[in-house]
Amino acid sequence: MTRALPYGRQLIEDDDIAAVVAVLRSDALTGGPAVTGFETALRSVTGARHAVACSSGTAALHLAAMALELGPGDAVIVPSVTFVATANAARYVGAEVVFADVDPATGLMEPQHLEAALKRCGTARPRAVFPVHLNGQCVGMAELGELARRRGLFVVEDACHALGSVQGGRLTGACSSSDMAVFSFHPVKTVAMGEGGAVTTADDRLAERLRLYRSHGITREAADFLQPAEAFDAGGQPNPWYYEMARPGFNYRASDINCALGTSQLAKLARFKTRRTELVEAYGAALAPLAPLVQPVGRRPDCVPSWHIQVVRIDFAAAGTNRAKVMRALAERGISTQVHYLPVHRQPYYRALYSDTALPGADAYYDRCLTLPLFVGMENAEVERVVAALKAVLS
C-alpha cells in the first residue's frame, strides 16, 4: 500500500507533544518562560545576538519593516520569486515595492539584480532590500550586503526557507551582513510551531523596537516614558498602573504553547537538516538520468543549504506536455506537488499598483519549477517512487 505524499509536512514526535502538554499544565499559556526559552534556543542555533519570537513569518516581516521605520515614499527591493508576504510587508507600512529579478537557475537575487532594481525606483527613495534565501539556498550575503551598505540600504533577510543554512561559513540568522533576518515556523517549514515566526538581529535598538511593536507598541519602561507628569508620582516613582504607547504596534506575540513546540523542534534541527540533505542527494541521483529534461534547482557553491523544499526545473515544452498535466497526473498517483512561486510582480494587486515589470529571470524560473515531496519522515524508496512517477508522466 503506497501512502499519499505531500510536498512538505512536519514531523511531530512524543517529546514534542510532551513539551506542549507541560505548558498546558503550567500557569503561563502566553507571555511566559516558554517564549524566552524559545528565543534563547533560536539564538543558539542561529548565532544571533537577539531573537524576537512572534506569531508568524509574515508578522516577523511586518515587524522588521516597522522597526526600520520604513514608510510612504520609501522603496523596498524584493525579489519577485518569493511568497507574497515578503513584498506585502513593505506595503503594510506604506512603502513601495520594487521587484528585482532572479537567477533563472537558482531563483536567487544576485547583486546585478539589485543594481537593476535600484534604477527602477522612480521617485521613491530606496531604503531597504529584502533578499530571500529560496528553497534553503542562500543569497550571497557578503556581496549583497556590501552593495546594500554602499547604497545606504537596510537589509532584511527573508530566511523563512533557510533555518540552519550556512553560507560563506556563517549561519543564517546571525546577521553578519544584514540588519535583521526573518524566520517562519509554519508546519511546512523545517521546524514547526503551528503558527510562529521570529526576527533575529545583532542590533540592540532594533531588537527593542521589535519587542515594542510585537505587543501593541506599549512600554512599561520608565526610562522611555514621554509624559512624566502622568507617569510618575510626587516622589518620582513610576505609577504602578502606568504604560505608554508612542506608536501603535500589533498583537504579534507567540504563545507559550507554540514556543514550547518550537523549542522542542529546534533541538532536532541538525537531524532534520541531515535527513533533508540525504533525501535531496537521493533525488539528485535518481533524477540524473532524466537530464536535461529535468534538472534539480541550480546550486550555489558557497552555501550549505538546510533544504526547505525540493525544486526541480522541467522543460515541459520539450517533454511535449505542460505543468498542469504533470501535476494532475502525479496527483493521481498520490504525489502532491507545488509551484514556488508564481512571481509576485504578476499578482493582480501588484500589476494594478505598478505597471508590469519585465523580469525575465523570474519568469524563466517560474516556467520550469516544480516542487516535489520532501519531508523528514519521507523514505528513500519514496524518492524513487516520485522520480519513477515523474519519468512515466513525462514520457
- Positions marked active-site: 189
The strand order across the sheet containing 197-201 reads: 50-54, 197-201, 180-184, 154-158, 125-129, 74-79, 96-100
Minimum distance from residue 87 beta carbon to ligand PLP (Å)? 10
Quote the crossing angle between the two packed helices 84-92 and 57-67, to the nearest 10°: 40
Cβ distance to ligand PLP smaller for residue 58 or 219: 58
The CA distance from 150 to 177, in Å, is 12
Q: Which of 76, 85, 254, 293 binds ligand PLP (CB under 6 A)?
A: 85
Q: Where are the beta strands (DSSP E) in the chain?
A: 50-54, 74-79, 96-100, 125-129, 154-158, 166-167, 170-171, 180-184, 197-201, 218-219, 244-245, 294-296, 303-304, 310-314, 369-372
Cβ distance to ligand PLP smaller for residue 186 or 385: 186
The reply on whether position 184 binds ligand PLP by CB under 6 A is yes
Nearest residue to 107 via CA among 283, 311, 245: 311
Nearest residue to 48 via CA among 203, 210, 269, 272: 203
Residue 310 to residues 158, 224, 374, Cα–Cα distance (Å): 18, 47, 6
Query: In which element (H, E) is residue 260 found?
Result: helix 256-266
Q: Which of 58, 263, 306, 337 binds ligand PLP (CB under 6 A)?
A: 58
Cβ distance to ligand PLP smaller for residue 63 or 389: 63
The reply on whether position 99 binds ligand PLP by CB under 6 A is no
- The DSSP 8-state label assigned to residue 307 in this structure reads -
- Joined together, the cell numbers standing for residue 211 give 519587542
The reply on whether position 132 binds ligand PLP by CB under 6 A is yes
Cβ distance to ligand PLP smaller for residue 56 or 178: 56
The reply on whether position 62 binds ligand PLP by CB under 6 A is no
The three-class DSSP label of residue 116 is helix
Sole window of 52-60, 62-70, 200-208, 221-229 interacting with ligand PLP (rule: CB under 6 A): 52-60
Sole window of 143-151, 154-162, 294-302, 319-327 interacting with ligand PLP (rule: CB under 6 A): 154-162
Cβ distance to ligand PLP smaller for residue 139 or 287: 139
Minimum distance from residue 7 beta carbon to ligand PLP (Å)? 13
Please tell me the count of residues contacting ligand PLP according to CB under 6 A. Answer: 14
Q: Which of 79, 131, 194, 197 binds ligand PLP (CB under 6 A)?
A: 197
- At 232, the amino acid letter reads F
User: Contact, 311 vs 135, CB < 8 A?
Assistant: yes
Minimum distance from residue 197 beta carbon to ligand PLP (Å)? 5
The reply on whether position 178 binds ligand PLP by CB under 6 A is no
The reply on whether position 57 binds ligand PLP by CB under 6 A is yes
The reply on whether position 82 binds ligand PLP by CB under 6 A is yes
Cβ distance to ligand PLP smaller for residue 256 or 382: 256
Q: Residues interacting with ligand PLP, by CB under 6 A?
A: 56-58, 82-83, 85-86, 132, 158, 160-161, 184, 186, 197
